């Protein structure tokens, strides 16, 4: 930006003839007035009257010439002052705009750098929490990691289900973070961590038992699983307690949370980034988007697990066919779990 240039009008030469004539007439009028009163000092006489008139007229004409010169000088000086003031103001405006642009650029750069630092610090905290979970199965590691994943939407609000064993057919355990909740009557609870056994319905069984236990701060993980397994026995699921492996449960929990968080943050991942419902086995998960596998993406979507309402259409309906590359046992578990967790609506409105 350049400062505006204030052009000065070209000055006209003084009209010396006019100035000289005014001076000459003024001096002549004063001289005549002086001559009128010189021989007759009587102030009441007529010559004295005209002498006063001529003095006033002569003085006025003489001042007109002098003021003409002074007025030109004053206008010239004023013009110079105005021009200098305008140029100074324009320069100051340019400098102010330049400084403002520089300061804005500095602020933007500072904000960008600060945001990147905050994001890096946030990711570092997440990574440290997840890393600690791989070697520490305490409440102090599990609770904040699961809460963090819940708040980011990396896991479903119903919790994260994992196999508590070495394969996809192992008994399934669900870790649920529940935020604080209070009703108008004063009931409710503070935020808490619940560990559930995901029971499968037996033939001719009315309903499916809910087996769960609260994990309180200070509880050792073996005490939590001991209580859970005792409830499993009371509900008739004693056989599954023999196959339940606490080490595999926490290993799979750490694996599922790490990959779910990475996908949710947009890091490089084989997962879609949808909220994870269940880890079926390594490389197989259920998300809100469907059944996902490493290397093949989404292989079955929620609508494919939704039976139609019509009875005639329901007879012809079936689950997706197994791809040639899929392991039969893993595919069977994936279809069973998908049918239970992923339908977009219930075929029975009641």
Residue 46 burial by CB count (10 A; 0-12/13-18/19+): exposed, middle or buried?
exposed
Q: Are 57 and 156 in a shared domain?
A: no
Asked if residue 98 is part of any domain, the answer here is: no
- Tens digit of pLDDT for each residue in 36-66? 555 555 555 555 555 565 566 656 666 666 6
- First vs last C-alpha separation in the chain: 73
Give me the domain span that covers residue 225: 136-341
In a domain, 106, yes or no: no
What is residue 300's predicted lDDT score, i.e. its pLDDT?
A: 95
- The pLDDT of residue 299 is 96
pLDDT at 348: 47
| 99-120: average pLDDT | 67
For residue 2, tell me if it sits in a domain: no
The per-residue pLDDT for 20 is 65
85 and 152 fall within a common domain: no
What's the pLDDT score for residue 193?
Answer: 96
Residue 128 included in any domain? no
User: Across all residues in the chain, what is the average pLDDT?
Assistant: 80
**Rounded-to-integer distance, Cα 286 and Cα 279, Å:** 6
Instruction: With respect to residue 148, please indicate whether it lies within any of the assigned structural domains.
Output: yes
- Residue 229 CA to residue 43 CA, distance in Å, equals 138
pLDDT at 1: 47
pLDDT of residue 350: 42
Q: Which of 285, 279, 290, 281 is nearest to 343 (CA)?
A: 290
**pLDDT of 303 above 80:** yes
Same domain, 142 and 239: yes
The pLDDT of residue 228: 96
Mark whether 187 and 250 lie in a shared domain. yes
* pLDDT range class, residue 213, cuts 50, 70, 90: very high
Q: What are phi and psi of 300, to 5 degrees?
A: -155, 135
Mean pLDDT, rounded, for 192-215: 86
d(CA 308, CA 181): 36
225 plus 290 within the same structural domain: yes
Average pLDDT over residues 216-222: 94
DSSP state at residue 45: S
Q: Is residue 348 part of a domain?
A: no
> Within this chain, do residues 169 and 54 fall inside the same structural domain, yes or no?
no
Query: 61-65, 99-103, 288-292, 306-310: which has the highest mean pLDDT?
Result: 288-292
One domain for residues 252 and 149: yes
Confidence of residue 246 (pLDDT cuts 50, 70, 90): very high
Q: Is residue 288 part of a domain?
A: yes
Considering 125-129, 149-153, 199-203, the range whose residues carry the highest mean pLDDT is 149-153
- Whether 229 has a pLDDT exceeding 80, the answer reads yes
**Rounded to whole angstroms, what are the CA distances from 197 to 165, 212, 253, 287?**
13, 6, 14, 19
**pLDDT at residue 293 in the model:** 97
Q: Which of 58, 90, 122 is the last residue of a domain?
A: 90
Q: Can you give the pLDDT at residue 232? A: 94
State residue 96's pLDDT score: 73
- Render 246-276 in DSSP notation, one character per residue: HHHHHHHHHHHHHHHHHHHTT-S-SS--SPE
Distance CA 327, CA 173 (A): 22
Sign of CA pseudo-dihedral 101, 104, 109, 110: positive
pLDDT at position 127 is 65
Read off the pLDDT of residues 117-142 as tens digits, 9 standing for 90 and up: 776 676 666 666 666 677 788 999 99
- Among residues 54, 74, 90, the one where a domain terminates is 90
pLDDT > 90: percent of the chain: 44
Give the pLDDT of residue 290. Answer: 95
Out of 90, 106, 126, a domain closes at 90
Domain identity same for 195 and 249: yes
Distance CA 145, CA 131 (A): 10
**In this structure, what are the phi and psi dihedrals at residue 293, rounded to the nearest 5 degrees?**
-130, 150
| Number of domains into which the chain is organized | 2
Closest CA to 22 of 66, 53, 56: 66
Q: 160 or 50, which is more confident? A: 160
Say yes or no: 189 and 325 in one domain: yes
Q: Is residue 62 part of a domain?
A: yes
Going by pLDDT thresholds of 50, 70 and 90, the confidence category of residue 103 is: low
189 and 43 both lie in a single domain: no
Residues 6+ apart with CB under 8 A from 2: 94
Long-range contacts of 286-291 (CB under 8 A, 24+ apart): 286/334, 286/337, 286/338, 286/341, 286/342, 288/156, 290/338, 290/342, 291/334, 291/338, 291/342
Same domain, 44 and 143: no
- Residues 209 and 333 grouped into a single domain: yes
């Amino acid at each position: 930006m350049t400062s505006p240039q204030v052009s000065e009008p070209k000055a006209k030469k003084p009209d010396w003839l006019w100035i000289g004539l005014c001076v000459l007439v003024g001096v002549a009028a004063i001289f005549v007035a002086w001559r009128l009163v010189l021989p007759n000092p009587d102030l009441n006489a007529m010559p004295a009257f005209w002498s006063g008139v001529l003095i006033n007229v002569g003085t006025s004409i003489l001042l007109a010439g002098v003021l003409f010169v002074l007025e030109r000088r004053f206008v010239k000086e004023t013009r110079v002052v105005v021009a200098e003031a305008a140029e100074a103001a324009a320069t100051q405006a340019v400098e102010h705009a330049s400084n403002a642009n520089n300061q804005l650029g500095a602020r933007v750069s500072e904000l960008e750098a600060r945001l990147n630092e905050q994001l890096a610090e946030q990711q570092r905290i997440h990574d440290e929490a997840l890393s600690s979970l791989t070697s520490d199965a305490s409440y102090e590691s599990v609770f904040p990691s699961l809460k963090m994943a819940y708040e980011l939407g990396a896991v479903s609000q119903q919790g994260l289900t994992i196999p508590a064993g070495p394969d996809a057919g192992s008994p399934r355990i669900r870790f649920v973070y529940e935020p604080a909740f209070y009703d108008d009557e004063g009931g409710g609870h503070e935020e808490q961590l619940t560990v559930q056994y995901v029971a499968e319905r037996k033939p001719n069984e009315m309903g499916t038992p809910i087996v769960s236990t609260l994990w309180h701060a200070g509880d050792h993980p073996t005490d939590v699983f001991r209580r859970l397994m005792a409830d499993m026995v009371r509900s008739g699921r004693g056989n599954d307690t023999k196959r339940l492996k606490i080490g595999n449960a926490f290993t799979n929990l750490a694996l599922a949370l790490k990959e779910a968080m990475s996908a949710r943050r947009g890091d490089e991942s084989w997962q879609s980034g949808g909220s994870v419902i269940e880890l079926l086995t390594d490389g197989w998960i259920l998300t809100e988007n469907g059944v996902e596998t490493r290397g093949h993406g989404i292989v079955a979507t929620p609508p494919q697990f939704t039976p139609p309402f019509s009875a005639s259409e329901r007879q012809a309906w079936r689950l997706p066919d197994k791809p040639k590359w899929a392991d039969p046992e893993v595919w069977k578990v994936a279809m069973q779990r998908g049918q239970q967790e992923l339908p977009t609506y219930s075929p029975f409105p009641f």
